[in-house]
Structure 1
Amino acid sequence: MDSRTVPSSEMMDSPAHIVKVLYIMIRREIETVLRPLGLTPQQGQALYALSQSPGLTNRELEQQLMIEKSSVTSLMNGMEKKGWVIRRSHPEDARMRQNELTASGQQIHQAAHAAVEEVKLRSRSALTAEELQQLTGLLSKLHQVYHPS
C-alpha cells in the first residue's frame, strides 16, 4: 500500500473523512457484488426505489437518488432498454413519466437486494446492537448539521 491508500491518523480524526472513507469502501463492495448481475450501484438504487414506490417520476427519483435530472433520464433510458422498467404517462400531467419495474426488473431487483443486504450485514455484524444504535444516532445528529429539517 502506498500513502494514497492509507489515511493519516489526523485525517481519521475528522468525522467527515471517516464517513467518506467508509462510503468509498462500502460502495466498492457493493459494486463488486452487483457487477456479476450486470448492475451499477445507481441502477440498484433505482430498482430499489421503484420496488418500494412504483410509479415514481424522474423528478422524484432525482430527489431520492440525489442525482441530476440528466442522470435520471439516462439511467431510466438504459433500464428501459434492458427491459427492467416501463415508463408510462402520468395521469395528471402528460409531460411527466411514471417509472415502474417490469417482471424482469423485479427479478433483478430481488437478486441485487439480496447481494447488497449481504454487504450491509457485514457492516452491522461488526457492531453490537447498542453500538449500532449509538452510531446511527450520532450520524443522524451530524446529518442535521448539513440538512436541518
Structure 2
Amino acid sequence: GCRYVLHVASPFPPGVPKHEDDLIVPAREGALRVLRAARDAGVERVVLTSSFAAIGYGQTPVAGEPFTEENWTNLSEKVSAYVKSKTLAERAAWDFIGREGGALGLAVVNPVGIFGPVLGPDHSTSTEFIRRLMDGEMPGLPRMVVGVVDARDVADLHL
C-alpha cells in the first residue's frame, strides 16, 4: 500500500460548459471517490489540489491576513462553473473527512494559476492561453490580472 495519495485532477476545459454540472459533478465525485478509496485502503493522508477559486471570490481580502479554513468563495455571487466546481469539490472533501473519513487525514493546497514547462504536445487550458498569446493568435492583450505560481513549486508543496 501507500501512505499518501495526491489528488491533482479536476476538469478545466478551455470553453464554457453547456451546463455547470458538467464541471461540478466530476470535480466533486472525483474527489469523493479518491477519499473513499484512500480511507478504505488505510492511507494516512490525501493531499487535494484545490484552487484559489475555492476560497478567494466574493469577499474582500484584508491586507496582511492569510486565507484560512474559514475562507470560502461566495457562491451567491456570480462565479463561473469552474469556480463553483472547485469550491463545491473542496467543501465536499472536508465534509466527507468530518463525517466518514475515519483516521484519514486531508491537506488541501489552493494555488492560483499554475504555469510551468509542458511535458508534451498537449497544453493545459492555462498554458494554451499563454501559447496563443505568444504566437499572436489573439487579436489583442486582454485586460486581466491573474496570480501565477510555478508548477514545480506546487509539486514541491504537495510533498
Common fold by TM > 0.5:
no
TM-score (norm 2): 0.28
More strand by share: 2
More helix by share: 1
Q: Which has the higher contact order (CA 8 A, sep 6+)?
A: 2
Radius of gyration: which is bigger? 1
